[in-house]
Amino acid sequence: MKKSTALNAPFQPASFAFRDVTKVREIIARYPKGRDQSAIMPLLDLAQRQVGEDGLKSAKPYGGWIPRAAMDEVAKLCGVAPMKVYEVATFYSMYNLEPVGKYLLQFCTTTPCWLCNASGVLQAAEKHLGIHVGDTTDDGYFTIMEVECLGACSNAPMVQINDHYYEDLTPEKMVEILKSFRQDVIPPSGPQNGRKGSMSIAGPTSLMDQAKKAGVI
Amino acid sequence: MPKLKINDQDVEVSPGTSILQAAEQIGVEIPRFCYHDKLSVPANCRMCLVELQGAPKPVASCAMAAGDNMVVYTHSDKVKKARNGVMEMLLINHPLDCPICDQGGECDLQDQAVAYGFDRSRYHEHKRAVPDKNLGPLIKTVMTRCINCTRCVRFGEEIAGVETLGQLNRGEDAEIGTFIETAVNTELSGNMVDVCPVGALTSKPYAFKARPWELKKTETIDIHDGLGCNIRVDSRGSEVMRILPRLNESINEEWIDDRTRYAYDGLKKNRLDRPYVRDAKTKVLRESTWEEALSVTASALTSTPPAQMAAFAGDLVDVESALALKDLMASMGCSNVECRVDGAMFDPSVKAGYVMNSTLEGVERADLIILVGVNPRHEAALLNARIRRNWLDRRVKVVLVGASAELTYPYTHAGTAPKDVVKLAQDYAGKAKYPMMIVGAGVFKRPDAMALHALLKDTAEKIGCLSDDWNGFNVLHMAAGRVGALEIGFYPPQPLAIEQMSCVYLLGTDNPETISRISKQAFVIYQGHHGGAGAARADVILPGSAYTEKNAIYMNTEGRPQMARKAVDAPGQAREDWKIIRALSGYRGAPLRYDDLSQIRARLMREYPQFDLMDEVSIGSWDKFGMSGNVLDQSFHVTVEDFYQTNIITQASDTLRECSRVFTRGETPLAEAAE
């Protein structure tokens, strides 16, 4: 994933303040005194979610991202140079440094998913939305990102939409899911082919007793 | 004490030593890019891999602590293969542009590629390219050459205290950058060029000017501040091409500040390269000959009564010249000599009262640092770097009395005037074991200087700066020539009434505090290397040499004598300063009794044996100095308004004028404005 370098872009707000001050205090208090920089990552996440909440209410919706002012605010709260926060924020693909769509689609295209037709799923989404990887739809609803392994290999292929995994996809299923999101109806996450969790589609083949106890068969 | 075997050789090292350092102790060099003696250890370049018996894989020797009974091979086949692999990886994205790269010839990557590089590339994909960054008027970047060793980032963080540079993004997109475009605003930025092991960061003023192998290297010392940083002057023909730091753990370690490094273009501009005499009729300075200039000067000196004559030694004057001038004045029965030309009239009678008694290395021992009327960042950038390190290591408490300053460590601002210093004595008495008081020499530019000097002495004693093994009273001078001149007694018994002098000899003196007091009728002789306020006022100009053009002794603010060596010839008819004075004494018919440098040095060391111990600090005894009296309730003023424009050489330097515009005044850099 190519990170944004257009950081002096005009859409950067001039200032940023956390709304949930209690939460900020709680996050910083999690770490030993003098180790405030450990709070950088959860605070960045909090900032991203706060911006995302505002985005939902906006006329043209957008998803969570971290403005530069927010990074500076986090640096101030953690008592480090802003550069330290920029380094962290640019390193992780989880942090968006420019506005994204209301629904952020993160397609896994690493080997196991790819072997299970991840590229077909991705292409179906691109064709349906009329955009390519890295782009956002004009209505502000969707952004497509290509990411490395998200750790759901047993349910390949998969896509992460905002905070949820949609697994065992087919190109057709993908389009259905997108249509549903376009109506702001959130379809149930998880495997899309009827399988439970990550067990075999035909039901458990081992550890039957435990499966019974857990109530899956 | 761990004992280990490196290449079948036994070595015992202190605990915590890395394998790389242990190998260095027995003279085994391990290649490295990211490791630097003075910086933290990130172990990200992997070039220093060694074979450690029992370890499944090669280990990074810079980050692995030497342990007891380790068996290490630094040059086995396995190691060679590992390093070849690392080198191949580093070169995948490194452009093959050595012929147009300024680092060529002194590049770590180039040198090590000779030893470990593969003679062809197996990489057929596109090389990555990284956009260049604009880091200001001093550092030129070609970021595609960067191997992401992060030395510059760590230098900024750990030494300079400005975290502008960082390692951004990840994987193939990883790059060194500022995130938001901004210049690297630190007075130590030039050192980032030095620590860069490749040609990613190079010196902007030196770009495409010379190759390292065509330069003559002269080891000398710097005169832009009072520390006497050790430098190497690289010259070609009669031109100074660049200035680099030289290792001296007691003074500058291996850094120098940007004023020292980039002032050299000022040595080529606005020079006094021939004698001038003010025409009696037109009242305009005209070019002249040495014969005329010296005889005019000699007759002026001879015709003036000694009591109406005065000589001044300026900020950049070496000890030999000052001594020759003092001898010349003495031969005429005149004791009106003065080196406190900036008007800082402290008491020069006791050495311990005007030098840095704790020494620079003492900064690391201090557990309380009190700054009085000084901005160490501007007046001695490397002293500031030492204070910062003490703060990083031990969170030393720093207290500042004087104008508030932007320092690279937190400090308590305890007021601005002498009365606040008195209060400090109550607040901090006995609180610290090694308290250090650093007084900027500039604070004495006030009428109550003598009383202030005594007050500061009392305060230092009350705080506990004086003990059997510690003297924490320090005066920090900006002028490189000041302490040396004071040591040879270049000051008058009573403050001079400059206004009443009818003949004034200015040796490298351009300070307005002195010049403005000279009477309109006085005959003024200016001897120096740059045209400035002094030369403008002069009736005779005798062209002298700058610090790169003479063999001379300077004494730094600690009282440490050091030898400067001649790197290039002085321009035109300019001569070494002490020789001019010696020639002048001949024109007066009473020649001084030394004909060459060794004789004048013999004369110097006979009378002032402290100059005999080159590079050593001789400790002065603590005695009474200053005068009791009323201290005015007047705030300390700022001594250095502009770090980049502090003396006549920096004022002639285009590079530093540009720095002053960009960094001090925050204007747009010229290059950008033109675009």
Q: And the tokens for B567?
A: 């790197």
Lowest pLDDT segment from A121-135, B171-185, B225-239, B298-312: B171-185
CB contact under 8 A, A87 and B180: no
B29, B112 Cβ separation under 8 angstroms = no
Specify the pLDDT at position A214. Answer: 83
For chain A, first and last CA: distance in Å?
Answer: 41
Note if the pTM is more than 0.95: no
B435, B463 Cβ separation under 8 angstroms = yes
pLDDT tier for residue B421 given thresholds of 50, 70 and 90: very high
Backbone angles phi, psi at A59, to 5 degrees: -55, -50
* CATH match for A103-191 among 2.40.340.10, 3.40.50.1010, 3.40.50.620, 3.40.30.10: 3.40.30.10
CB contact under 8 A, B165 and A5: no
Mean pLDDT on A82-97: 94
- The pLDDT tens digits for B76-90 are 999 999 999 999 999
Q: Per-residue pLDDT for B498 more than 60?
A: yes
SS3 B74: coil
* Torsion over CA: A37, A39, A45, A46 (sign): negative
Q: Per-residue pLDDT for B673 more than 50?
A: no
Q: Per-residue pLDDT for A202 more than 90?
A: no
DSSP E strands, B477-576: 503-507, 523-528, 540-543, 552-555, 561-564
CB contact under 8 A, A86 and B179: yes
Specify the pLDDT at position A203. Answer: 82
- The pLDDT tens digits for A176-194 are 999 999 999 999 999 999 8
Minimum distance, in Å, between the CA of residue A39 and any CA atom of chain B: 19
CB contact under 8 A, A87 and B131: no
CB contact under 8 A, A90 and B169: yes
- The pLDDT tens digits for B470-486 are 999 999 999 999 999 99
Q: Any bridge partners for residue B371, and if so which?
A: B400, B438
- The pLDDT tens digits for B315-360 are 999 999 999 999 999 999 999 999 999 999 999 999 999 999 999 9
Q: Which amino acid makes up residue B103?
A: Q
Closest-CA residue of B relative to A80 is B163
Q: Per-residue pLDDT for A34 more than 90?
A: no
Minimal Cβ distance to B163: which of A3, A5, A84? A84
Q: At what angle do helices B418-428 and B449-463 cross, to 10 degrees?
A: 10
SS3 B281: coil
SS3 A187: coil
How far apart (Å, rounded) are the C-alpha atoms in residues A205 and A217? 11
Q: Per-residue pLDDT for A5 more than 60?
A: no
Backbone angles phi, psi at B465, to 5 degrees: -75, -15
Minimal Cβ distance to B168: which of A2, A82, A86? A86
Specify the pLDDT at position B672. Answer: 53
pLDDT tier for residue A8 given thresholds of 50, 70 and 90: very low
For chain B, first and last CA: distance in Å?
Answer: 61
pLDDT tier for residue A10 given thresholds of 50, 70 and 90: low
Minimum distance, in Å, between the CA of residue A166 and any CA atom of chain B: 27
- The pLDDT tens digits for B546-588 are 999 999 999 999 999 999 999 999 999 999 999 999 999 999 9
Nearest to A189 by CA among A150, A153, A215, A163: A163
Specify the pLDDT at position A3. Answer: 43
Closest-CA residue of A relative to B162 is A81
Q: What percent of chain B has pLDDT over 90?
A: 93
pLDDT tier for residue A4 given thresholds of 50, 70 and 90: very low
The mean pLDDT value of chain B amounts to 94
Residues 6+ apart with CB under 8 A from B395: none
Other CB atoms within 10 Å distance of the CB of residue B586: 13
DSSP E strands, B162-319: 166-168, 175-177, 201-203, 216-221, 230-236, 239-245, 276-278, 285-287, 309-313
* Chain length of chain B: 675
| Domain boundary assignment for chain A | 21-91, 103-191
Nearest to B486 by CA among B654, B311, B340: B340
CB contact under 8 A, A8 and B131: no
Q: Per-residue pLDDT for B119 more than 90?
A: no
Other CB atoms within 10 Å distance of the CB of residue B202: 19
In which element (H, E) is residue B9 found? Answer: strand B9-12
- The pLDDT tens digits for B167-187 are 999 988 999 999 888 888 899
- The pLDDT tens digits for B271-280 are 999 999 999 8
Backbone angles phi, psi at A54, to 5 degrees: -65, -35
Q: What is the count of residue pairs from A and B with beta carbons less than 8 Å apart?
A: 36
pLDDT tier for residue A115 given thresholds of 50, 70 and 90: very high
Angle at B34 between CA B168 and CA B153, to 5 degrees: 40
Mean pLDDT on A144-171: 95
How far apart (Å, rounded) are the C-alpha atoms in residues B503 and B513? 17
Alpha helices in B162-219 (DSSP H): 190-195
How far apart (Å, rounded) are the C-alpha atoms in residues A32 and B80? 44
* Chain length of chain A: 217
Minimum distance, in Å, between the CA of residue B259 and any CA atom of chain A: 26
Q: Per-residue pLDDT for B675 more than 60?
A: no
pLDDT tier for residue A9 given thresholds of 50, 70 and 90: low
Specify the pLDDT at position A197. Answer: 86
Query: Are β-strands B397-401 and B412-413 bridged in parallel, bridged antiparallel, or unpaired?
Result: parallel
Q: Per-residue pLDDT for B544 more than 60?
A: yes
Residues 6+ apart with CB under 8 A from B369: B363, B387, B390, B396, B397, B398, B399, B435, B436, B438
Specify the pLDDT at position A6. Answer: 44
Alpha helices in B130-278 (DSSP H): 151-155, 190-195, 258-262
Among B168, B175, B392, B409, pick the best mutation site for testing chain A contact (most A Cβ within 10 A): B168
CB contact under 8 A, A81 and B163: yes
CB contact under 8 A, B166 and A87: yes
Q: What percent of chain A has pLDDT over 90?
A: 77
How far apart (Å, rounded) are the C-alpha atoms in residues B628 and B566? 45
Mean pLDDT on B502-526: 96
pLDDT tier for residue B8 given thresholds of 50, 70 and 90: very high
Backbone angles phi, psi at A69, to 5 degrees: -60, -35
CATH architecture of A21-91: Orthogonal Bundle (1.10)
- The pLDDT tens digits for A36-89 are 999 999 999 999 999 999 999 988 899 999 999 999 999 999 999 999 999 999
Minimal Cβ distance to B180: which of A3, A8, A84? A8
DSSP E strands, B174-305: 175-177, 201-203, 216-221, 230-236, 239-245, 276-278, 285-287
Mean pLDDT on B263-289: 95
How far apart (Å, rounded) are the C-alpha atoms in residues A66 and A52? 9
Specify the pLDDT at position A110. Answer: 96
